[in-house]
Amino acid sequence: MNNENRQPVVPDRQELQPIGRPDQNTAAFRPGGRVDREAADGFRAEVMLLLQELILQYTADSSSSVRVETAERILRSLLYTIEVGKQSGPETGPGRPRTRSARELYGRGLQILTACLADAKELYSEVKWKKLSVPLRTYNYTINEALPEFFLSYEVLFGAHETMANIDYPLLCDVPDLQGVFYLHRYLAQLALENEFCRCFRPEEIMRLLHNYGRIYDIDYRVSMVNICEIVVNNAVFAILAGRPPGELTLTPAQASDLSRELHALAPGELEAAVLSALAQIGTAPGGRPGLAEYLRQYAAGLVPRVRIAAASGSLDALILTEPAAEAAGPVFIGGERMDDRRFAAVCRRITESKTAAAKAAVILAEISSPEDLVDLFEADCLFGDEYTTVFRRLDATVLAVLGRVAFEAELRAGPLSLAALTAPPESGTEWQEKYLEYLRSLRGERRQAVEKMLNTVRII
């Protein structure tokens, strides 16, 4: 291949951000700049011709007419693409000649959008590959389902301007007011940066932070709209300010109290300088991705005032995520990621098709890594009668205890449970809960003691 002739189809990722919400009203029927009436009319005629061609492409040459809504959608897409071509052309600088050809602008815009789409797909592969293993619903849904749906439904020819995706996971810094694939590209670039940053910390540390976040704010973090990077950055900043070694995220309540007092004593300017310095340290730490420092500087605009207000009002404790006191901390069970619906259905099918209870248990042990999935599976009519017992026998004491915390959630809220006192399944008990209780009551010796102890102490995060 002759590289000299190769056209740079994709602008640099840093530069792929110029198109916000271009004017798609009828004013966009103009070539741009000051033009005479004849040129404007010629430009509009070209646009209409392009629209006609696109309608034919849309109907695969079988129909020259479409419904008004469809024509409007295609026209919006066409004008958006022309605007992309206008704003991204080589002649946009001062004193450069402007092209007056709608077709040329459209062609250039389409090339840029197509390249941006291809680059967004690459970014998505990276995001998917480097996805964090956390049981956060919005995060997993956005990456596993919403983003692929966008790529499936996005039509660069007929809906270039559309951003049809249920992207719920919030980012550390808002995506600017972009449209279409430019929005998605920026979203993915930021998400990739955040993932990369979070991967500099141990997964258990991040899970602890998420769990502590849920505990401190008394919410189920798994269904909350929290941004993982935000709580990681915040605690990383506080850890640095507390003099912890780089890479640490966890603070004890005592360390947080000391830090609160220190920050409260600082003048606002000193406080701001301290937070900015900590963010700069994080942004330039080895292993950080290019652009991280700038991204964190952007985030500082939101973090600094929050820290200043919290320090002034003595409420920094609510911002710093701390570990619970040692006596309250028990063994921790970190569940794996939940399956998506398709994979879950496939596992259910494999279990149902397995001929023996042992084979069913083998599939469960090999495939299921989240307690929620295990409970869902028990409730999906894949197992019958003694097959439950076969599975329970193969589970270790911790997982059995985790199941117990789900089955006897209400009873455990009232206080510690003794297996001897458990005589009946919960009122709304299902078959698996009845079998589970039967199995627990049949346990003897060390295993019984281990399950009972775990049942009362294990924390699921």
Partner 1 sequence: MKMNLTLLPGEGGIWLKEQQVGELLAMNAEAGKYGLALTPAAAAEIVEERNRVLAGCGRVDLNVSVTKQLIASFSSSPFVQPEDYVPLLHDLHEVFYYLKNETEDTIGDAELIAILKDAYENTCRGDSELLKGKIAAAIVERFRTERRDVNCWGNEEADR
Which member of 21, 44, 103, 137 binds partner 1 (CB under 8 A)? 44
Check: CB of residue 295 under 8 Å from CB of residue 192: no
Q: Which is nearer to partner 1, 84 or 239 (CB)?
A: 84
Closest CA to 19 of 168, 118, 160: 160
Secondary structure letter of residue 91 according to DSSP: G
Is residue 52 near partner 1 by the rule CB under 8 A? yes
230: CB partners within 8 A, 6+ apart: 172, 299
Q: Which is nearer to partner 1, 45 or 219 (CB)?
A: 45
Structure tokens at 16: 């792929």
Q: How far is the CB of 116 from partner 1 (least distance, A)?
A: 24
For partner 1 (CB under 8 A), the number of binding residues is 26
Q: How far is the CB of 335 from partner 1 (least distance, A)?
A: 33
Check: CB of residue 152 under 8 Å from CB of residue 238: no
Q: Which is nearer to partner 1, 54 or 407 (CB)?
A: 54
Is residue 39 near partner 1 by the rule CB under 8 A? no
Q: How far is the CB of 35 from partner 1 (least distance, A)?
A: 13
Closest CA to 319 of 225, 206, 239: 239
By rule CB under 8 A, what string of x and - marks binding of each residue 75-114 to partner 1? xx--------------------------------------
Is residue 342 near partner 1 by the rule CB under 8 A? no
CB contact burial 253-265 (16+ within 10 A = b; e otherwise): eebbeebbebbee
Task: Give the 3-state secondary structure of residue 153.
Answer: helix
CA 269 – CA 220 distance, rounded (Å): 36
Check: CB of residue 135 under 8 Å from CB of residue 335: yes
Q: How far is the CB of 72 from partner 1 (least distance, A)?
A: 5
Q: How far, in Å, are 117, 120, 153 from residue 186 at the CA level?
A: 11, 8, 18
Structure tokens at 262: 């220190």
Is residue 318 near partner 1 by the rule CB under 8 A? no
By rule CB under 8 A, what string of x and - marks binding of each residue 4-33 to partner 1? --------------------xxx--x----
Closest CA to 58 of 74, 77, 44, 47: 74
Check: CB of residue 262 under 8 Å from CB of residue 229: no
Is residue 440 near partner 1 by the rule CB under 8 A? no
Is residue 67 near partner 1 by the rule CB under 8 A? yes
In the chain the first and final C-alpha atoms are separated, in Å, by 53
Q: How far, in Å, are 21, 79, 88, 133 from residue 105 at the CA level?
A: 17, 10, 9, 44
Q: Which is nearer to partner 1, 49 or 358 (CB)?
A: 49
Is residue 71 near partner 1 by the rule CB under 8 A? yes
* Burial grade of 91 (CB within 10 A; 0-12, 13-18, 19 or more): exposed
Q: What is the residue type of 435?
A: K
Is residue 64 near partner 1 by the rule CB under 8 A? yes
Q: Which is nearer to partner 1, 41 or 381 (CB)?
A: 41
Secondary structure letter of residue 31 according to DSSP: -
Tally Cβ neighbours within 10 Å of residue 453: 15
Q: How far is the CB of 179 from partner 1 (least distance, A)?
A: 13
Q: How far is the CB of 28 from partner 1 (least distance, A)?
A: 10
Q: How far is the CB of 80 from partner 1 (least distance, A)?
A: 12
Which member of 35, 66, 417, 460 binds partner 1 (CB under 8 A)? 66
Where does 111-226 show beta strands of DSSP type E?
none
Is residue 62 near partner 1 by the rule CB under 8 A? yes
Q: How far is the CB of 78 from partner 1 (least distance, A)?
A: 11
Q: How far is the CB of 44 from partner 1 (least distance, A)?
A: 5
Structure tokens at 361: 């248990």
Q: Which is nearer to partner 1, 44 or 98 (CB)?
A: 44
Is residue 160 near partner 1 by the rule CB under 8 A? no
Query: Taking phi first (over 0 means left), then psi (-120 to 50 degrees means alpha), and beta for anything else, what does residue 213 get?
Result: alpha
Q: Which is nearer to partner 1, 70 or 389 (CB)?
A: 70
CA max distance for the chain: 95
Q: How far is the CB of 20 from partner 1 (least distance, A)?
A: 16
Which member of 20, 33, 45, 133 binds partner 1 (CB under 8 A)? 45
Q: How far is the CB of 22 from partner 1 (least distance, A)?
A: 13
Is residue 418 near partner 1 by the rule CB under 8 A? no
Q: Which is nearer to partner 1, 103 or 137 (CB)?
A: 103
State the residues that interact with partner 1 by CB under 8 A. Answer: 24-26, 29, 41-42, 44-45, 48, 51-52, 55, 59, 62-72, 75-76
